[in-house]
Structures are given as C-alpha cells and as structure tokens.
C-alpha cells in the first residue's frame, strides 16, 4: 500500500515539474524579452533607431503646437539680432484724397473692405469739378469748330479762291484749339470726374483692403484731405533697426531670418540699408525682403541677419528652447518621416534666446524649434511605460 502511494506521489511531482518547465519556456517566448527582438526588428525595418525615436503623425504635429524649422549654417558670433517691424512696401499702400474741394456725397467702402484697382470708394461733389467739366466741353467745341474752319479754308485754297495766309492762319487756330482740348481732357482725367461732371470720384490705384477710412458723409474736404488708405497685404517689407557698429557689417544680399511672435521663421534677404544713422535712435534701418505670408503692417518681429564673409564659426544657430536635456545629454529633436528623433548635439555659446550648435546637426535638417519640451515629456513617458 505504501509502495503504491509512493509511486502515485512521485508521478504527481513529475507532472508538476514538467508543467513548470513548459510554462517557463512559454513565458520566455511570449514575455517582454521575447517581444523585444520583434519590436527592434520592426523599428529597424522602419529606418529609425528605437532609442530616442518618437512617432507622430502630421495631424498630431499640427495639433501639438510644435513648430518645425530647417537648420541653417551661420555662426553665433557673426549673427546680428535686431528688432523689426512690418511695413507696407512703397507700391503696396495708397493714400486717397479728393482731387477737388467739395462735399462727400457718396461712400461705397468701409474699413476692412476689399478694393480693386480703379474702383471708386467715394464721390465728392464739387464746383471745381463742374468748372473743369465745362472747360472740357468748351474746349472740345472750339476744337471741332476750328477743324471745320480749317477744312473750309483748305478747299478754298485748293480752288485758288482763298489766299495762303488765310489757310495758314486756319491751321494755327486749329492746332491751338486742339491743344486746349487736350489740356482740358487731361485736367478732367487728373481730377477723375464723374460721368455727370458734378463731382470727382475717389478711386484706388491698387488692389487691397481699406486700412483707414476718415471720410464722413456730407463733410467738406480739401484736395489734400486724406479720405482713405488702402494697403495690399501681398506687398510688405520688413524694416529692422540695426545698431551703429553692426550696420557697417550689413550689406544688400545678406541672409536674414525673420521670427514672428508665434515662433514661425521666414527666410529673407537684406534689400538695402540706410547709409546714415537716425539722429534719435542712433541706428540704421535695414530693409528686408521676406515672404508676405502671415505678415501684417505694424507687426513686431525679430530679425537675425548673417553678414556674408564674416569670420565667425560655421556652426548652426537654433532657438535655445530647441535644445533639451535627456539623460544628461543635450539633444534636439530632428524631424523624421515618422516623427522625431532625439539627436545628441554639442552646444557652444548661448544668449538672446539662441544657442550655437557646434556638432550633431547637418544643414537642411528640420528640427523642433518650438515646443521641444513637449516632445521630451512624451519621450520620457514612453520610456517610463517600457520599464
């Protein structure tokens, strides 16, 4: 009896041992260590290293508020920082006045309304306009009469009835009458007379939007009174205030980067710089050509100008907030096809919200210039979940 029980207990123990070994082997195949090679293989197949990689779709990137900008070459020491303002280009803004004194009788446009080139914004009824219209009519009638007299004198001269002197006098009178008619038409055109000749039309020479509207219905205005101001948002320029010592280093054609308050950057060039300093600010004004997308006259910006031929370092300069510390190393988040990659970099000088990158980045790479701390937090959360 004891021998049978011993055999029974021995069989049960062997079965338990076999089941335990089988369970341990299954756990090794299906556990985290077994899944890691598959995950690494998948990451390697995607072309991005698993360490420091962060996946993010374009939709998620847009919703996150992270701003991406390309890396450009330019030494920290050679970069000139300047405060700048968006202004309308000389051909991108028009001040509209009445061409004759009178009362405003019609107003067709309001502040912010779109305007086409040649479109009438208001009508000013004027006695001067009526006089100009009358002069045009009288001059045209005299020119017509002089032409008829000339034709009659020509026929008489050809028939040898009239003397050459009479014919030449008719020619002179016709020429003078036609000149007076042209002058009257030019005056009417310059005044921009209405079709009925009672007033002058206030029209815009450019397309754009009304940015100022001082006209009031019934108000009596003079020719120099400003009634409207029209600006074309596609024709703007950036004016940067450059200090005296730095102004001597700036020349037309130098590279310039314009930064907006929301972190966007726009590539531009120096168009011109004033040869003298302003008597009050002791600074020169550099005019920058930059894309007009999203810029509005009066907007405050920051400009970074990189003079050509400066002996500064060739390292890249990025916003200081683009550099984050991960596991004791300075990194920037480089944009990849699937998201971002935390890339270690060697940082040089810092100042003015900028940091010089001496190594680790290549020109043309795109990085997270703003909101990089969000990517760092997301990366840390992902690593915490893995552990």
Q: What's 340's domain CATH number?
A: 2.40.420.20
Cα dist. 338→43, 59, 88, 364 in Å? 11, 12, 40, 18
pLDDT for the residue 216: 93
Q: Where are the alpha helices (DSSP H) in the chain?
A: 2-30, 32-46, 58-64, 127-158, 164-191, 244-247, 372-386
Residues 118 and 190 in one domain: yes
Q: Which of 98, 124, 131, 86 is nearest to 299 (CA)?
A: 86
Domain range for 212: 95-231
Please check whether residue 303 is in contact with residue 288, taking contact to mean a CB–CB distance below 8 angstroms: yes
Decide if 376 is inside a domain: yes
Q: Which of 72, 130, 105 is nearest to 317 (CA)?
A: 72
Decide if 33 is inside a domain: no
Chain length of the chain: 387
* Domain count of the fold of the chain: 3
Q: Reduce the DSSP state of residue 40 to 3 states and report it.
A: helix
List, in order, residues 6 or more apart from 175 with CB less than 8 Å away.
Answer: none
List, in order, residues 6 or more apart from 243 with CB less than 8 Å away.
Answer: 82, 282, 283, 284
Residues 172 and 190 in one domain: yes
* Listed residues 257, 276, 306: the one ending a domain: 306
Residue with tokens 């920290």: 76
Residues 261 and 373 in one domain: no
Q: Reduce the DSSP state of residue 140 to 3 states and report it.
A: helix
Please check whether residue 213 is in contact with residue 112, taking contact to mean a CB–CB distance below 8 angstroms: no
Cα dist. 67→16, 76, 89, 255, 366 in Å? 60, 21, 28, 21, 10
Buried b (16+ CB within 10 A) or exposed e, 207-231: bbebbebebeeeeebeeeeebbbbb
Any idea which of 276-280, 285-289, 349-353, 370-374 has the lowest mean pLDDT?
Answer: 349-353
Cα dist. 312→74, 189, 269, 286, 308 in Å? 8, 58, 19, 21, 10
Alpha-carbon dihedral 15, 21, 27, 30, rounded to 10 degrees: -90
**292 has a pLDDT exceeding 90:** no
Residues 225 and 243 in one domain: no
pTM of the model: 0.56
pLDDT for the residue 351: 66
Q: Is 249 exposed, middle or buried, given 0-12, 13-18 or 19+ CB atoms closer than 10 A? A: middle
Q: Could you give the CA distance from residue 172 to residue 279 in angstroms, rounded to a whole number? A: 58
List, in order, residues 6 or more apart from 353 with CB less than 8 Å away.
Answer: 319, 320, 321
Residues 180 and 155 in one domain: yes
Q: Could you give the CA distance from residue 312 to residue 249 in angstroms, rounded to a whole number? A: 13
Give 140-198 pLDDT, tens digit per residue.
999 999 999 999 999 998 998 889 999 999 999 999 999 999 999 999 998 899 988 89
pLDDT over 90 percentage in the chain = 37
Q: Reduce the DSSP state of residue 86 to 3 states and report it.
A: strand
* Listed residues 231, 260, 289: the one ending a domain: 231
Q: How many CB atoms lie within 10 A of CB 305?
A: 28
Decide if 180 is inside a domain: yes
Decide if 333 is inside a domain: yes
**379 has a pLDDT exceeding 90:** no
Residues 346 and 282 in one domain: no
Give 304-322 pLDDT, tens digit per residue.
888 876 544 556 778 888 8
Residue 216, beta-bridge partner list: none
> Which tops the pLDDT comparison, 265 or 40?
265
Residues 162 and 67 in one domain: no
Please check whether residue 344 is in contact with residue 313, taking contact to mean a CB–CB distance below 8 angstroms: no
* Listed residues 211, 231, 251: the one ending a domain: 231
Decide if 171 is inside a domain: yes
DSSP classification of residue 305: E
Domain CATH code at residue 284:
2.40.30.170
Give 39-82 pLDDT, tens digit per residue.
333 333 334 445 778 888 888 888 888 888 887 665 555 678 88
Copy the structure tokens of residue 100.
């004759």
């Amino acid at each position: 009896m004891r021998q049978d029980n011993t055999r029974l207990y021995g069989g049960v123990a062997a079965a338990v041992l076999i089941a335990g070994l089988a369970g341990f082997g299954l756990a090794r195949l299906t556990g985290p260590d077994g899944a890691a090679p598959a995950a690494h293989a998948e990451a390697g197949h995607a072309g991005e290293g698993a360490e420091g990689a962060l996946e993010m779709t374009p939709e998620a990137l847009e919703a996150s508020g992270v701003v991406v900008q390309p890396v450009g070459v330019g030494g920290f020491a050679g970069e000139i920082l300047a405060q700048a303002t968006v202004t309308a280009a000389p051909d991108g803004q028009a001040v509209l006045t009445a061409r004759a004194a009178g009362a405003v009788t019609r107003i067709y446009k309001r502040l912010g309304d779109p305007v086409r080139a040649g479109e009438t914004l208001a009508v000013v009824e004027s006695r001067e306009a009526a006089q100009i219209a009358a002069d045009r009519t009288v001059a045209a009638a005299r020119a017509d009469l002089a032409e008829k007299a000339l034709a009659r004198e020509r026929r008489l001269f050809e028939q040898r009835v009239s003397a050459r002197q009479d014919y030449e006098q008719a020619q002179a009178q016709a020429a003078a009458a036609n000149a007076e008619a042209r002058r009257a038409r030019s005056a009417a055109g310059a005044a921009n007379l209405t079709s009925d000749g009672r007033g002058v039309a206030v029209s815009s020479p450019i397309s754009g939007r009304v940015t100022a509207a001082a006209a009031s219905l019934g108000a009596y205005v003079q020719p120099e009174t400003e009634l409207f101001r029209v600006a074309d948002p596609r024709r703007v320029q950036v004016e940067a205030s450059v200090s005296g010592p730095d102004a001597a280093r700036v020349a037309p054609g130098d590279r310039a980067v314009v930064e907006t308050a929301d972190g966007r950057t726009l590539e531009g060039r120096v168009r011109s710089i004033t040869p003298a300093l302003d008597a009050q600010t002791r600074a020169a004004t550099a005019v920058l050509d930059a894309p007009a997308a999203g810029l509005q006259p009066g907007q405050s910006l920051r400009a970074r100008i990189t003079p050509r031929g400066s002996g500064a370092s060739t390292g890249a300069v990025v916003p200081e907030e683009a550099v984050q510390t991960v596991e004791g190393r300075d990194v920037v988040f480089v944009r990849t096809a699937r998201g971002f990659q935390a890339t270690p970099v060697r940082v040089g000088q810092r100042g003015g919200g900028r940091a010089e990158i001496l190594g680790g980045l290549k020109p043309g790479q795109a990085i997270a210039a703003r909101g990089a701390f969000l990517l760092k937090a997301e990366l840390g959360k992902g690593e915490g979940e893995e552990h």
